[in-house]
Chains A and B, each alone.
Chain A
Amino acid sequence: MSAGTLPPDEQRLAVGASIQDTRGDKIAMACIYTALGLFCLAILYPLVYVLSASVSNTRKVSAGEVWLWPVGFTLDAYRAIFDYKAIVSSFGNSVYYAVAGALVATVLTLLAAYPLSRKGLPGKGLIMGAFVFTMMFNGGLIPTYLVVDQLGLLNTRWAIILPTAMAVWNVIITRTYFMVTIPEELVEAGKVDGCSDFSFFWRVVLPLSKPIIAVNLLFYAVGQWNSFFNALIYLTNEHLFPLQVVLRQILIQSKVDPSQMQDTSKLLQMQELQQQLKYSLIVIGMIPPLLVYPFVQKHFVKGAMVGSLKG
């Protein structure tokens, strides 16, 4: 391989490699590749296994014939999911909570992060301190519950969306992003042109901040999709339950309610299907976040880099 055809960065590395790849280094690299490969397999195996089991014949799964690939392919388990009313409605609720929660939380985070990123705003340190302090100390479970209760939010969709709307950690990362990408000169230039803070934020800052907005939306949406504890304590109305609460009932507590089946002729198969329902439910519960995160993945390392700068 001629070094001349490579881009400059790789070229340097390639030249370096030709100097230094001793036998010990080659062994070390081989070990690193093998270890990483094995670790990736260990992460993937449970996911692939559950996916395979969810589309396999129930008896084959029970008999332990499924190791990696589906045996006796069937989609019965997914049909059973669509027949189970609570799962369908809670799936809808979860989508609602994820979308609405992510929008509310991202708007709040941007509104908090931008002013706090501006140099020379009187009282900025104090406000920032008020935000950061909540990371180290909080009122705890019961007092928070009492606040939600007093606001009359119990058993409403707001109880899921509002109490966890803002994560201070995201505010800090977003603020640092603004400090790095919106130079003070740009703010001054905007002022000279008679741009108010509102219109500067709307017309200059937001268009420059698409990556951080995407990361915020993703984190909040995934957080809402995956959370179950708020629903557990704030909701008793089953029609408002998110998917995770129903998953917990069926997967972990093994509570399957026959009255939830629309087609009663299927009741007899229920016992057999229950085991299989577990696999397909796990798949349904984990697929949406797994489909979304790769699109934002490229921003993660950059985001962490920005977040680690002290501001």
Chain B
Amino acid sequence: MTTSTEARSSVRSATHKRTRTAQNAVGLGLRMRRNWQLYAMLLLPMLWLAIFAYWPMYGVIIAFKDYNVVQGIWGSPWAGMKYFDRFVESYQFWRLIKNTVYLHVYELVATFPLPIILALCLNTIRKKWFSRASQLITYAPHFISTVVVVGLLVVLTSPNTGVTNKLLGLFGIGPQNLMGDSGMFRHLYVWSGAWQTMGFAAIIYLAALTSVPPELHEAAIVDGASRLRRMWHIDLPAIVPVAVILLILDIGRILSVGFEKVLLMQNSLNLDVAEVIDTYVYKIGLASSVPQFSYATAIGLFRSVIGLVLLVLANTFARRFAKSSLW
């Protein structure tokens, strides 16, 4: 007890660095006991994490087993790599990979720069009310559900009453069922996504822009730099580190596109381009009358592992060339 009071008093009087050493001098067990209330607070969140995040990770082993409900996860017989082989050799394989990668890469290339441009524009606006109003409006779609966004697409492109067909009608083009047109699926998916996410995605860039010291702009003004030049040479570099990190995360998600929205936009007419890995997993694993748990898990695991590998690769690449990385 005396040591602990001594330690505590020395902690109080010490500077920050010495606090550390003093604490280290106290045994690990004692430090843990002294913080028991903090561990108690962590108990519920960690229980949640164990049940809903790590227990499913253990469940992933059914990808290597012939899972059946009676024998359970551990009791079911091993199947080795059977399900992975079946997936790679199946006629669905290349179609699924192609659809998923196409959709994600199109989305990435088309929509990644948009929030950056939006943030740069919002940042130069000097009229407070205008800036605040545009932010309020551009955030709005982020808070609308995927179901409603797809519902909007359905009513806006409806062949009978939709606005798009009235517009096409002005150019003398007859009614088109855009939602049922597999050639239009990717465009509708990507651009409605841009409509929904662009404003909110700009927030993180706006936050990064607040760190730009105004003196830089003042100095540049004195040197006669134009507005656009200052955006390019002062504001943009402040954003790049954040953009690189977001890009790395996006590349890690290359095989997992916005699955809910794809599922909602699917119909029998566009399935040839709209079937992606995640929707396929859902269909054979849960929606089918004969659920194939092991096969679906194997496909899901295949996707997750590739995603993780891509994330690590992108991060290594970014660390070497862009000097900004996740870890």
Contact = CB atoms under 8 A, between A and B. Distances in A.
A308 B281 CA distance: 34
Interface stretch (A36-44, A70-78, A80-88, A261-269): A36-44
Given A22-B226, A144-B56, A165 B300 contact: no
A127 B52 CA distance: 16
B305 to A, nearest CB: 8
A62 B141 contact: no
A115 B42 contact: yes
A302 B85 CA distance: 49
A1 interface: no
Contact of A146 (B121, B242, B264, B293): B293
A191 to B, nearest CB: 8
A112 B42 contact: yes
Contacts of B135: 297
B83 to A, nearest CB: 12
A301 B151 contact: no
B130 A16 contact: no
Interface string A273-308: 001001101100110011011100100111011011
- Main secondary structure, interface of B, reads helix
A114 interface: yes
Contacts of B11: 188
Interface of A: 12-13, 16-17, 19-20, 22, 24-25, 28-29, 32-33, 35-37, 39-40, 42-44, 46-47, 49-50, 53, 61-62, 64, 67, 108-109, 111-112, 114-116, 118, 120-123, 127, 130-131, 134, 136-147, 151, 162-163, 165-166, 171, 184, 188, 191-192, 196-198, 201, 222, 225-229, 233, 244, 247-248, 251-252, 275, 278-279, 281-282, 285-286, 289-290, 292-294, 297, 300-302, 304-305, 307-308
5 contacts: A20-B221, A114-B41, A120-B23, A244-B145, A251-B154
Interface of B: 8, 11-12, 16, 19-20, 23, 28, 31-32, 35, 37-39, 41-42, 44-46, 48-49, 51-60, 62, 73, 118, 121-122, 124-126, 130, 133-141, 143-148, 150-152, 154-156, 160-161, 163, 166, 195, 199, 203-204, 206-208, 210-211, 214, 217-218, 221-222, 224, 226-228, 242, 252, 259-260, 263-264, 278, 281-282, 285-286, 293, 296-297, 300-301, 303-304, 308, 311
